[in-house]
Amino acid sequence: MDQFTFYSPTEFVFGKDMEQQCGSYVKKHGGSRVLIHYGSGSAIRSGLLDRVKLSLEESGIYYVTLGGVQPNPRDTLIYEGIRICREEQIDFILSVGGGSCIVSAKGIALGVPYQGDFWDFYGTGKPVECALPIGTILTIAAAGSEGSGASVVTKEEGMLKRDTGSDLLRPRFSILNPALTQTLPAYQTACGATDTMAHVFERYFTNTKEVEITDRLCEAILLTMIKETPRVIADPDLYEARANIMWAGTVAHNDIVGVGRSQDWNSHGIEHELSGLYDCAHGAGLAVIMPAWMEYVMHHDVMRFAQMAVRIWGCEMNFACPEATAREGIQRFRMFLHSIGMPINFAELCAREEDIPVLVEKFGLGEGKTGGFVALSSADIAAIYRIAAHASL
Amino acid sequence: MDQFTFYSPTEFVFGKDMEQQCGSYVKKHGGSRVLIHYGSGSAIRSGLLDRVKLSLEESGIYYVTLGGVQPNPRDTLIYEGIRICREEQIDFILSVGGGSCIVSAKGIALGVPYQGDFWDFYGTGKPVECALPIGTILTIAAAGSEGSGASVVTKEEGMLKRDTGSDLLRPRFSILNPALTQTLPAYQTACGATDTMAHVFERYFTNTKEVEITDRLCEAILLTMIKETPRVIADPDLYEARANIMWAGTVAHNDIVGVGRSQDWNSHGIEHELSGLYDCAHGAGLAVIMPAWMEYVMHHDVMRFAQMAVRIWGCEMNFACPEATAREGIQRFRMFLHSIGMPINFAELCAREEDIPVLVEKFGLGEGKTGGFVALSSADIAAIYRIAAHASL
């Protein structure tokens, strides 16, 4: 196991109706002037926003609101949020929504105390040195942003999707009420599940030897997702299955299952160009890319893919030909994604094979290579897009 | 899944030689006058204590030392520690040792700012309202105290073993260097592994339905322990296996795998009377008690024990007779414990069947019942001691 530090100071508050206590949690964590940051009208229509406001009022907390976060959140709204926070002397950001809403709030949080352009931190590795505290009320189990220090934002000019991360961006508290996810349409539910599974797979494929504990923990999350996701696709109101998926989504991405091992986030990076260009859902893009990436890099460590096939997908080990087991595991992953309504190739995602050179160009690797499991060149990435374009069951 | 809050703010610092940075971590977490609390002479002989002192000196931190923590740490040393901390105006306790050393430090930490007797908090449920901050340098993977808010202390007068817990007792940082555990004798290594496994089983046997995510995470830890423990018993110097065991021990007990489900800590409670009376190792006592407890309560939920047998111990499911599978799982657990050198009955633990009435009396249940999975009476507890007395392979 490699050297690591692990720090996850977020207070997680899990259960029905917990959002009604958000005012006291904001207070406990030092907030007195709050920006409520939310996404679509559904938070208004469902009455959630009203419950949040009521709880803040009961705690005597001043607030202003900023809605309109889109999937693949944009820099433009973040500039607007930074301006409002400065004008209103906001000292706490409360994000009410899914991952997009939370990562947008993180962008505002790091931008407010920073003199320059908040975008300086994205895709550059520039370390965050100061940020407003944030809290979250999660409405979509997917991104894991409620427990992570990561943020991904799209710059409207050129539709560039870039990320940043810092322990300072980890929420002070996150309220997880699985019932809030019950209104989510099946497609978005499946996108979220795919994202959670991808977060685990990006950690699972590693070159670090002898990492049994984190291997097993990764497998635990994936087995849970495989059991529970089809249940909520069939019946969106299954609270218990929603609850399992919600906690799985958090644990998948606060890095407790990924510490001490090399990770490989190329599938996320390769996908970002798809959702950046076509504005498709991140999870849907991952469903197309991740199995393609697996097929392309499989020969780097066939036994690890065979392990995935046996332990996660329940394949019989083919001892004479481990590669056959490995391939079967990848194909079962694809079949699973199809079964929950995810696209599995470019056509189903409404992406175009002829755009591959544009996607590779936007990825911006040039002559370089990237990857923690298998280092990929621009040509490799083009090849993965081509596999993804033509995948079938 | 039940409602819960989960808060684990400890900064974990994992890897070789990390103890050499303890001074900067004490400083980062606000300490300037430190009590170094340690156990036996091994911390001196190995040079660990010198490395710790050097690091504190390099950070310009004042320290005093208090050694001599015993397994099943005693109240007497805690009184001594509280006196020293008050006299020396200590503002941070650095525990260098295993679980006993850490829980002793927690006793001191809550006692220093408290006007009354620190023992008031033990076995009473009295909430801790203030405590000195602590940090740990872990030398035994076992108790999980490095990531938990729990403390168990033995009152010398009457050898009463009682516990307390609070988020305020969670360490600010914990340094985990697996190499420090390589000098541990096989017997203590096995005791630690048994303790870790027990922490998971106490969470695994639950009456809460549909807790797939935490079930699977529990199983992940147990599968890891089953793989890695025999390896380090055979070869104590296997750093990687020690590393897996060490992180497993932490994750097993910071409650991330136990949230949202009823738990049952009766095996720990029943064992505490054994180590309280005979001063045996806690892990060794658990090896004798836990399978006996399982046999006694098995009929409450045979399918859960069958699940344990199949998923954790690799038994074939006997679909015609799940009880047979359940029994096989428990017996495999006992065989595993025997294989790593643990006692499996009273004789091997040097406990006496004729003391059972004394043990039950000290347990102090009277006419009451206790237990989150199966509520046990004093008669039930006596029966479990009797099963434990006579267990065989």
- Residues 243-272 of chain A with CB under 8 A from chain B are 243-244, 247-248, 251, 256, 259-260
Mean pLDDT of chain B: 96
CA A247 to chain B, closest CA, distance in angstroms equals 7
| Residue burial B166-178, b: 16+ Cβ < 10 Å; e: rest | bebbbbbbbbbbb
CB contact under 8 A, B224 and A247: no
Cβ of residue A167 closer than 8 Å to a chain B Cβ: no
Instruction: Please give the distance of CA B252 from its chain centroid, rounded to a whole number.
Output: 9
Cβ of residue B110 closer than 8 Å to a chain A Cβ: no
CA torsion sign, B277 to B278 to B279 to B284? negative
Instruction: Please give the distance of CA B237 from its chain centroid, rounded to a whole number.
Output: 23
- Mean pLDDT over A31-58 rounds to 94
Res B110: pLDDT: 98
Contacts of B76 (CB under 8 A, 6+ apart): B156
Cβ of residue A235 closer than 8 Å to a chain B Cβ: no
Which of B1, B15, B220 lies at the smallest CB-CB distance from A217? B220
Q: What is the pLDDT of residues A296-339, one digit of tens each?
A: 999 999 999 999 999 999 999 999 999 999 999 999 999 999 99
Can you tell me which residue has the tokens 């430090």? B105
- Mean pLDDT over A105-134 rounds to 97
Q: Give the number of other CB atoms < 10 A from CB of residue B18.
A: 21
Give residue B161's pLDDT band: very low, low, confident or very high (50, 70, 90).
Answer: confident
The Cα–Cα gap between A267 and A286 comes to 7
Domains contained in chain B, CATH given: 11-180 (3.40.50.1970), 183-390 (1.20.1090.10)
Enter the tokens of residue A71.
């999937």
Please list every residue in chain A whose beta carbon sits closer than 8 Å to the beta carbon of residue B3.
14-16, 18
Please report, rounded to a whole number, the percentage of residues in chain B having pLDDT higher than 90. 94
CA A22 to chain B, closest CA, distance in angstroms equals 13
Please list every residue in chain B whose beta carbon sits closer than 8 Å to the beta carbon of residue A228.
212
Mean pLDDT of chain A: 96
In chain A, the residue whose alpha carbon lies closest to the alpha carbon of B208 is A240
The Cα–Cα gap between A198 and A218 comes to 11
The Cα–Cα gap between A123 and B112 comes to 48
Which DSSP string do the residues of B262-276 spell out, in sequence order? Answer: ----HHHHHHHHHHH
Which of A7, A224, A251 lies at the smallest CB-CB distance from B11? A7
Amino acid type, B111: G
Whose CA is closest to A243, among A181, A336, A184, A196? A181
Residue pair B99/B143 in contact by the 8 Å Cβ criterion: yes
In chain A, the residue whose alpha carbon lies closest to the alpha carbon of B248 is A213
Residue pair B239/B179 in contact by the 8 Å Cβ criterion: yes
Q: Give the number of other CB atoms < 10 A from CB of residue A55.
A: 20
The Cα–Cα gap between A66 and A86 comes to 13
CB contact under 8 A, A13 and B5: yes
Residue pair B138/B34 in contact by the 8 Å Cβ criterion: no
Is the per-residue pLDDT at A10 higher than 90? Answer: yes
Res B159: pLDDT: 83
Res A279: pLDDT: 87
The Cα–Cα gap between A125 and A117 comes to 14
- Give, in order, the Cα–Cα distances in Å from B56 to each of A142, B26, B45, B62, B139: 43, 8, 19, 7, 18
CB contact under 8 A, B11 and A11: no
- Which class for B129: exposed (0-12), middle (13-18), buried (19 or more C-beta within 10 A)? exposed
Is the per-residue pLDDT at A73 higher than 90? Answer: yes
Q: What is the pLDDT of residues B34-75, one digit of tens each?
A: 999 999 878 888 999 999 999 999 999 999 999 999 988 999
Residue pair A79/A107 in contact by the 8 Å Cβ criterion: no
The Cα–Cα gap between A137 and A143 comes to 13
CB contact under 8 A, B244 and A213: yes
The Cα–Cα gap between A282 and A385 comes to 15
Q: Give the number of other CB atoms < 10 A from CB of residue A177.
A: 24
CA angle in degrees (0–180, nearest 5) for A304-A309-A311: 90
- Mean pLDDT over A368-375 rounds to 97
The Cα–Cα gap between A263 and A203 comes to 5
Cβ of residue B212 closer than 8 Å to a chain A Cβ: yes
The beta-strand segments (E) located in B156-256 are 160-165, 173-176
Is the per-residue pLDDT at A172 higher than 90? Answer: yes
Which of B228, B240, B260 lies at the smallest CB-CB distance from A247? B260
Is the per-residue pLDDT at B134 higher than 90? Answer: yes
CA A217 to chain B, closest CA, distance in angstroms equals 5
Residue pair A315/A309 in contact by the 8 Å Cβ criterion: yes
Please list every residue in chain B whose beta carbon sits closer than 8 Å to the beta carbon of residue A6.
11-12, 14
Which of A3, A12, A178 lies at the smallest CB-CB distance from B15? A3
The Cα–Cα gap between A116 and A181 comes to 37
DSSP lists the bridge partners of residue B62 as B33
The side-by-side arrangement of strands in the sheet containing B4-14 is A62-66, A33-38, A92-97, A134-138, A173-176, A4-14, B4-14, B173-176, B134-138, B92-97, B33-38, B62-66
In chain B, the residue whose alpha carbon lies closest to the alpha carbon of A13 is B5
Cβ of residue A54 closer than 8 Å to a chain B Cβ: no
The Cα–Cα gap between B346 and B238 comes to 32
- Give, in order, the Cα–Cα distances in Å from A282 to each of A10, A192, A196, A265, A316: 25, 9, 11, 14, 32
Is the per-residue pLDDT at A187 higher than 90? Answer: yes
Helix, coil or strand: residue A161: strand
CB contact under 8 A, B178 and A247: no
Res A392: pLDDT: 95
Enter the tokens of residue A337.
């994604």
CA torsion sign, B265 to B269 to B271 to B272? positive
Q: What is the pLDDT of residues A329-365, one digit of tens each?
A: 999 999 999 999 999 999 999 999 999 999 999 999 9
CB contact under 8 A, B12 and A1: no
Best of B146, B208, B212 to disrupt the A interface by mutation (most A CBs within 10 Å)?
B212
The Cα–Cα gap between B276 and B161 comes to 6
Please list every residue in chain A whose beta carbon sits closer than 8 Å to the beta carbon of residue B214.
247
Q: What is the pLDDT of residues B67-113, one digit of tens each?
A: 999 988 999 999 999 999 999 999 999 999 999 999 999 999 999 99
Amino acid type, A219: E
Q: What is the pLDDT of residues A155-171, one digit of tens each?
A: 999 888 899 999 999 99
Give residue B190's pLDDT band: very low, low, confident or very high (50, 70, 90).
Answer: very high
